[in-house]
Every structure is written in structure tokens, then in C-alpha cells.
């Protein structure tokens, strides 16, 4: 299968099922906030945040598996693939135990008090953290299984399973909350139970996909682990910086403003998080393909970075453009008019993401180059430090407004410097990047934004059915314009051929 067809298969699978997951989550968030209230919902978010902090300490093995399993597959070495999976699984079982103990000790010694949880719900918060600690015993090994399936390009199967899991989990949370169940039991039923069930399902799919999988230990296992570590150690540092940027912000908000404001912050950031999720979908679809190409020293690698960046912009920019135009009525229908004072802030963050994240595809693909991975790790720590500093200062001064704007200011300071290094070591000029990837990938989005901007106030006042019709037309316009004028004919021809096969 051609590189763009493989990339299309991964991307199409991601984009078909991700909107389903997002829609289910949005419905669940709206229901849970209304039924449970901000305090209880904030406690549920806090439990996920505490658990998520530890994923940065995965020794970079998730990124290492995504790079080396396709590489070993290209070399035809199934023994190394088996050793890589076994080594990661062994380490992640140990990490799950460590995380379980760490969260339990933190909770036992009243660490929950630092999050300003209301006294009425304090014991519930402690119980949820204990449950989250137990969940870590399954959650960490499950990441190895999921990552291995991605490395084998099983995105289509994995996305189906993920969508079913999201529907199952959110349905349980909604049903339990409506029936008046205690919040700790809601977490237990909607988090631990799905975790166990779908871990078993993914493990069975992995075994069926890689029949040579056999858990055995020997010298080769440690040799492979050493080889992966030489690359993944830099991914570990990158993960720490990502944790500081996209996980620690919740800690800052909960510590400085309280968990009730954490729920508000989560709602305000939802559109920005959606954009991040779209970029992650494209990154995950890319890395196994890029790694295999780079291993073969193919001349297609550089072409993939430039044309792939243009294609990525053509896919994600119109989605962001639609949100910029429709964000006010969408938020009003989702959570009511309570958040109307933050609409302008959400729009600024979306415009920022359109400008700054134009090179996310290039950045992800170039990580395959070892020197770039090292730079991204070091530079990520610096940029994360700048972000956290700005967030603490701005949150103390301006509250939630400052917390959200800290993402914008830190990104405007650091992103251009990061792109400069990546372009230099990928043998791509700024002119190529700005003209071939950015301008040609986003031109129709910016054109439609300029055309529709004067009519935003009119769109905001439309009735329900009229807004649904206009919103649908605007979405179709953004996506179709981008397809016809932003994706080049060579890539479009290969994608159309793949779509035809995929549909059949």
C-alpha cells in the first residue's frame, strides 16, 4: 500500500470515529455538570488529572514502541517486535504498581486537602483517588497493548473499540448520576469496570494481529530495551514537558481557584482541547508511516513532511474555522448561557491554534530524526517552564482569563523557535513551509473566515432549526472548499482511490 494510502487509512479511521467519541463526551459533560454540580464533576476531573500526571513518567516507551515496532517490521524481524512488546509490558506492570502505591500514599496522608475540595465532598474525593490508584494496575499495561496496535497500523480496529468503550463508560456515568448514586460509585462503575473489560478485548486483538506474540524473557529483551531507551529517553523528557503544559494547568487552576473553577476551566478549554485532539489524531496516524519510511532512507520522507503538513492543515483548519464562526451558539446549546462572558476568549484561543499549530504534522514526523527528538525534548522543558510561570502569574492576577491566555502567550513566544530548528534539520526552508504547507493548506479557511466574520452576530441570533441548517451549510463549505483547493492533485488522487476501496 502506498504511503499516502496508508496514511489515509489511519487518518480516515481516526476522523470517522473521533467525532462520535467527542459527541458522546460532550453530551455526558453537559448532563454530569447539570446533575452532579460543578463540585462533584470537578472531583471526577481531578481523579483523571492525578492519574494522568504519571503518564509522563513512562520512560518514553510509548513513543519508542511507535517508532521501533514499524522499524523492526520493515526489517522483517518478528523476534525484536516480540521482545519490544514484552519489555514494555514488564516495565509498565511495575510502573502501574508504583503509581498505585504513590496515589494511595498521597491520599492516605490527606494530600487531597491541597485541592480545596468542599468539606461535604472530601471523603468522596478520597475514595475516588483510592479507586484511581487501583485502576493504575490495569491502565498502565493497557497502554502497551493500545500502543502496539497503533504501531501495527490497526487504527481502524482500535478506533471502533475506543468508540464502544467511550459510549459504554459515559452511558454508565450518566445512568448512575441520574439515579442519584454516590459520586465515588459512579467513578467505580464508569471507570474501573470498562477499564478491565476493554483491556481484555484489546489484548485479544493484539494476539490475533501478531500471532508470534509470546511472553518470554532473555538477553535479547534487555538488548532491545536498551536500543529503545536510547531514543525513548528523549521522548520521556518531551512527555514531561507535555504534562506540564496540558496536565499541570488543571493543578494550577484547582490549587489557586478551587475545583469548582476547574469545571468551568474545563468547559472553556473544550474547544481548544478539541483542536489538540484533532492534531493528535493526525500525529498518531503519521508516526508509524514516517518511522518506516525513515528506516528505509526513502526520498519520500521529506516529501511526506511537506505534503503531509499541507494535507493536515487542509483537514484540521476548516474544523477550527467552523468553531470560530459557530462557537457562541454551540456553547449556548451545550451548557447554556452561563459561560457567555468567555465566548470572546474561546474565539481568541481558536484563532491562536490556527496560527501556531500549522506545523504540528511536521513536528511529529520530524521526531523520527534522532537529533530532532533530542531538541524537542530539551526545548519542550523550556517552553513548559515558560508556560507554567506565565500561568501561575496570570491566574493569580486575572483568574480564569489569565489561565486560558497563558496558553496563547507562551505558544507565541516558543513555537516559532521550535519550528525554526525542526525545519533546519528536516532540510525544509521557511519559504517551503509557509507557502507549500501553511498557505496552501489553510487559504480557503482564512478566506471563508473573512467572508463570514461580518455575519457572526446574525448567526448567533438564529433560531434552533435555522442555526442547524446554517451551521451545516457553513461546515460543508469549509470542508469542501478545503478539499478542492487545499489538497494537491497527486495526494487527492491517491486518497480518492483509497476511499473507493475503503467504502467497498
The better pLDDT of the pair 238, 447 is held by: 447
pTM over 0.85: no
Q: What is the pLDDT of residue 15?
A: 62
Q: Which span out of 15-24, 102-111, 493-502 was modeled with the highest average pLDDT? A: 102-111
> Which one has a higher pLDDT value, 451 or 428?
451
Q: Is 58 helix (H, G, I), strand (E, B) or coil?
A: coil
Q: Is the predicted pLDDT of residue 67 greater than 90, yes or no?
A: no
- Calpha distance 368→312 (Å, rounded): 18
C-alpha cell at 307: 505534503
Residue 348 in 3-state DSSP? helix
pLDDT of residue 447: 95
Q: Is 165 helix (H, G, I), strand (E, B) or coil?
A: helix
Check whether 296 has a pLDDT greater than 90.
no
For range 287-299, the mean pLDDT? 60
Residue 502 has pLDDT above 50, yes or no: no
Q: Is the confidence at residue 356, as pLDDT, over 70?
A: yes
Which band of pLDDT confidence, cut at 50, 70 and 90, is reported for residue 113? confident
Say which residue, 97 or 24, is predicted with more confidence.
97
Start-end of H helices in 76-218:
78-108, 122-151, 155-178, 183-187, 193-209
110: Cβ contacts below 8 Å, ≥ 6 apart: none
User: Among 4-18, 236-250, 256-270, where is mean pLDDT lowest?
Assistant: 4-18
Give the number of residues written for the chain: 504
In this prediction, residue 24 carries a pLDDT of 77
Average pLDDT rounded to a whole number, residues 3-25:
66
Q: Is 487 exposed, middle or buried (0-12, 13-18, 19+ CB in 10 A)?
A: buried
SS3 331: helix
Q: Higher pLDDT residue, 52 or 384?
A: 384
Average pLDDT, the chain: 81
Question: In angstroms, how far is CA 84 from the centroid of its own chain?
Answer: 24
How much is the pLDDT for 443?
Answer: 94
Helix (DSSP H) and strand (DSSP E) numbers for the chain = 22, 0
Percentage of residues of the chain with pLDDT beyond 70: 81
> Is the pLDDT score of 473 beyond 90?
yes
CB distance 250 to 49 below 8 Å:
yes
**Residue 348 confidence (pLDDT):** 93
Orientation of helix 370-398 relative to helix 400-425, angle to 10°: 160
Please give the residue that has the higher pLDDT: either 212 or 3.
212
Q: Name the nearest CA neighbour of 261 among 47, 52, 116, 53.
A: 116
Tell me the range of 52-61, 87-96, 117-126, 472-481 where mean pLDDT is highest: 472-481
- Give 357-411 pLDDT, tens digit per residue: 888 878 877 776 667 777 777 787 788 888 889 999 999 999 899 999 998 999 8
Distance (Å, whole) CA 81 – CA 279: 27
The answer to whether 367 and 64 have CB atoms below 8 angstroms apart is: no
Spatial separation of the C-alpha atoms in residues 118 and 34, rounded to whole Å? 18
Q: What is the mean pLDDT of residues 251-274?
A: 82
Q: For 118-170, how does the pLDDT look when each residue is reduced to its tens digit (9 = 90+)?
A: 788 888 888 888 988 888 898 888 988 988 888 887 877 887 888 888 889 88
Residue whose C-alpha cell is 463526551: 25
Q: Tell me the average pLDDT across 298-310.
A: 75
Amino acid at each position: 500500500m502506498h504511503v499516502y494510502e496508508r496514511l489515509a487509512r489511519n487518518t480516515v479511521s481516526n476522523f470517522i470515529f473521533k467525532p462520535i467519541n467527542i459527541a458522546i463526551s460532550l453530551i455526558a459533560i453537559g448532563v454530569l455538570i447539570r446533575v452532579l454540580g460543578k463540585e462533584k464533576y470537578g472531583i471526577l476531573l481531578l481523579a483523571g488529572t492525578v492519574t494522568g500526571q504519571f503518564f509522563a513518567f513512562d520512560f518514553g516507551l510509548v513513543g519508542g514502541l511507535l517508532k521501533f515496532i514499524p522499524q523492526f517490521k520493515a526489517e522483517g524481524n518478528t523476534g525484536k517486535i516480540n521482545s519490544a512488546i514484552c519489555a514494555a509490558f514488564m516495565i509498565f506492570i511495575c510502573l502501574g504498581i508504583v503509581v498505585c502505591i504513590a496515589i494511595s500514599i498521597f491520599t492516605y496522608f490527606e494530600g487531597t486537602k491541597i485541592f480545596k475540595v468542599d468539606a461535604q465532598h472530601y471523603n468522596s474525593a478520597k475514595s475516588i483517588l483510592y479507586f484511581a490508584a487501583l485502576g493504575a494496575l490495569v491502565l498502565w499495561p493497557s497502554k502497551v497493548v493500545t500502543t502496539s496496535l497503533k504501531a501495527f497500523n490497526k487504527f481502524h480496529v482500535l478506533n471502533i473499540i475506543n468508540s464502544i468503550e467511550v459510549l459504554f463508560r459515559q452511558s454508565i456515568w450518566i445512568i448512575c448520576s441520574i439515579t442519584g448514586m454516590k459520586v465515588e460509585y459512579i467513578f467505580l462503575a464508569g471507570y474501573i469496570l470498562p477499564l478491565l473489560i476493554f483491556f481484555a478485548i484489546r489484548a485479544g486483538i493484539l494476539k490475533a494481529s501478531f500471532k508470534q506474540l509470546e511472553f518470554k524473557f532473555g538477553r535479547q529483551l534487555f538488548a532491545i530495551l536498551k536500543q529503545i531507551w536510547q531514543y525513548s529517553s528523549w521522548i520521556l523528557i518531551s512527555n514531561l514537558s507535555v504534562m506540564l503544559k496540558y496536565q499541570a494547568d488543571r493543578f494550577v487552576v484547582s490549587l489557586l481557584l478551587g475545583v469548582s473553577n476547574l469545571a468551568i476551566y474545563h468547559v472553556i478549554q473544550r474547544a481548544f482541547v478539541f483542536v489538540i485532539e484533532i492534531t493528535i489524531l493526525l500525529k498518531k496516524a503519521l508516526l508509524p508511516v514516517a518511522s518506516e519510511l525513515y528506516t528505509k532512507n526513502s526520498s519520500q520522507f521529506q516529501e511526506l513532511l511537506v505534503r503531509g503538513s499541507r494535507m493536515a492543515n487542509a483537514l484540521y483548519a476548516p474544523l477550527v474555522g467552523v468553531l470560530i464562526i459557530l462557537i457562541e451558539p454551540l456553547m449556548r446549546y451545550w451548557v447554556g448561557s452561563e459561560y457567555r462572558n468567555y465566548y470572546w476568549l474561546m474565539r481568541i484561543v481558536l484563532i491562536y491554534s490556527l496560527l501556531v499549530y500549522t506545523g504540528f504534522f511536521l513536528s511529529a514526523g520530524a521526531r523520527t530524526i534522532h537529533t530532532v527528538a533530542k531538541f524537542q525534548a530539551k526545548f519542550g522543558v523550556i517552553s513548559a517552564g515558560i508556560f507554567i510561570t506565565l500561568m501561575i502569574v496570570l491566574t493569580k492576577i486575572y483568574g480564569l482569563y489569565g489561565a486560558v491566555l497563558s496558553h496563547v502567550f507562551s505558544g507565541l513566544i516558543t513555537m516559532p523557535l521550535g519550528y525554526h530548528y525542526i525545519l533546519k534539520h528536516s532540510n525544509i526552508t521557511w519559504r517551503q513551509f509557509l507557502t507549500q504547507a501553511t498557505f496552501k493548506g489553510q487559504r480557503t479557511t482564512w478566506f471563508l473566515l473573512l467572508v463570514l466574520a461580518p455575519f457572526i452576530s446574525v448567526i448567533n441570533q438564529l433560531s434552533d432549526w435555522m442555526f442547524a441548517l446554517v451551521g451545516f451549510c457553513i461546515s460543508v463549505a469549509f470542508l469542501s472548499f478545503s478539499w478542492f483547493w487545499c489538497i494537491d492533485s497527486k495526494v487527492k488522487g491517491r486518497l480518492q482511490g483509497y476511499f473507493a476501496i475503503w467504502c467497498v
